[in-house]
Amino acid sequence: MTSTQEFARKTALVTGAASGIGLEVARRLAEAGAAVVVADYNEQGAKETAEAIVAAGGKAEAVRVDVTDPESVRAAVDFTFQKFGGLHLAVNNAGIAGASAPTGEYGIEDWQRVIDTNLNGVFYSLRYELPLILASGGGSVVNMSSILGTNGFAGSPAYSAAKHAVVGLTKTAAVEYASRGIRVNAVAPGFIDTPLLSGGDQEKRDYLVSLHPQGRLGTAEEVAELTLFLLSDRASFVNGSYHLVDGGYAAR
């Protein structure tokens, strides 16, 4: 594994790392020297990601996590700290798209499922990560929001509400921990070509492409590039901010 070793002697936890953006972030962190815990509800997918990282010369372990369950999150965070002796970096990436329906017709259980995963899951992660990052001497956190943390989107009231709330949570945690050696930022991908968008028909895909002035969907690699910058010391004065990686979506 060739690397700058920018994150050597650092331990990172990435949720939702069995596929898509999380997988790419985990892979790149390991390539840059971090010991990475790959956390996902899909335990087999997490193991496959960790095995691929190890096969390429990196350090990784897999753990199953249900981010809607605070005890499951606590266990995954504790596992990370105990396995590698610290926790310095966290990427709270796990999320679901949820059902599609107008707000006045949105199912209550559908709403709760999206909020539990996309908002409560980020809070639970921060709740248990931040004390251990403090105990490790400080570090950096990136919460994965979305372009729908800035814009509304018809048929996605729960997703948009959750992702807007993640931005507020990010800013609050950043203010609280800035003087204690922890930076907390959020990344806002546009529509990214990942398994989360798989299975849709071509007409829907073409519509999503049309929303981006660059005329295409983004890639997991492009989101990971920004995420790793924010985690790194290169972003040492970047804190409590919300960064778009959206091909001009929000500029329309």
Active site residues: 159
Distances (CA, A) of 172 to 24, 66, 123, 167: 27, 24, 11, 9
Rounded CA-CA distance 34/158 in Å is 34
Neighbours of 51 (CB within 10 A): 13
Count CA atoms closer than 13 A to 219's CA, side-chain side.
4
Neighbours of 218 (CB within 10 A): 21
106: which DSSP letter?
Answer: -
In our burial notation (b when 16+ CB lie closer than 10 A, e otherwise), range 64-84 reads: bbbbbebebbbbbbebbbeeb
